[in-house]
Amino acid sequence: MDQGATASAVNLDIAPIINQTQKPLIISNASHSFLLALSYVVDDQVKFNLLSSEELDQWKRKVNLLELRKEFSDIFLYYPKDDLLNFFQQSKDFKLIEADGEKYPNRKVFYKVVDVE
């Protein structure tokens, strides 16, 4: 997966967005080095749900997005691979918005999961 040259600049841009939320959840199947770097610049209340490609099918069967929304104030996708991105895009209850203000066009970097209105 091409995650770009570096996650450092991205992490510094998105950390304030994450840190201003009360009880955020980051869902990702990105490389562990990217996630580890992000974990150093976000607050302690941030929870991570890390997935491997092998776990994604199991996770899809078990996850209840409505329940996650009850438990967390905000849900974000961080560098999602296509399979994870497609799972969220197929939801009828939620949609994805680019949470980085489209700062990184043509790169799947950072999305917020929001209710469909």
Q: Where are the domains of the chain?
A: 8-115
Determine the average pLDDT of the residues in 30-53: 90
3-class SS at 111?
A: strand
Report the share of the chain in percent with pLDDT over 90: 34
94-114 pLDDT tens trace: 889 888 766 666 677 899 999
Answer yes or no: is pLDDT of 41 > 90.
yes
- Nearest by Cα to 26 from 39, 41, 13, 37: 39
Give me the residue label for tokens 């209105």.
Answer: 117
What is the dihedral angle through the alpha carbons of 84, 88, 90, 94, rounded to the nearest 10 degrees?
180
- pTM of the predicted model as reported, rounded to 2 decimal places: 0.85
- Lowest mean per-residue pLDDT among 25-29, 57-61, 67-71: 57-61
Determine the average pLDDT of the residues in 48-67: 79
